Amino acid sequence: QVQLVESGGGLVQAGGSLRLSCAASRLTFTAYTMGWFRQAPGKEREFAAYISWNGGNTYYADSVKARFTISRDNAKNTVYLQMNSLKPEDTAVYYCAAAGRISTATATYEYDYWGQGTQVTVSS
C-alpha cells in the first residue's frame, strides 16, 4: 500500500530551523499534489503548505508564509518543508499528505494518503 514517511522533526530553539522530509512509495508521485499539515495538542489539524505535482505552484498558510518553504524532488519521490525562524507556536506534529484531485488543497478531506507524522518542538 501507499506509504508516506516523514522525518526531520526534533527539538529546536526559537529562531532556529528544521527541514522536514517526506518520502513516498507505491504511488505515482507526479500524479499528486503534496501538502504539509500540522496538529498541535488539543487543536485540529491545520493546513501549512502545498505544492503542485511539478512544483510550479505553492501556497502557504498565513501563519507560516515567508518562514516556511515547500519543495519536491520528483526523482526521489520526496517532498520537503524547510522551516526557518521557528516560533514556539509552531510546535506540533507535522504530517505530509498526498492529494490526487484537489479543489483548494488546504482541506484535510482533499487528501487521499497521510504519513504518520513527525514531532516538531520549538522551545522559547
Q: Could you write out the DSSP letters of every residue in 55-113?
A: SS-EEE-TTTTTTEEEEEETTTTEEEEEE-S--GGG-EEEEEEEESS-SSS-SGGG-SE
pLDDT at position 101: 85
Average pLDDT of the residues of the chain: 97
Residue with cell 527539538: 11
In whole angstroms, how far apart are CA 70 and each of 14, 21, 37, 78? Answer: 20, 10, 12, 11
pLDDT at position 62: 98
pLDDT at position 102: 85
Secondary structure class of 29 (helix, strand, coil): helix
Among the listed ranges 13-22, 34-43, 85-94, 100-109, which one has the minimum average pLDDT value? 100-109
Residue 54 has pLDDT above 90, yes or no: yes
pLDDT interval class at 63 (50, 70, 90): very high
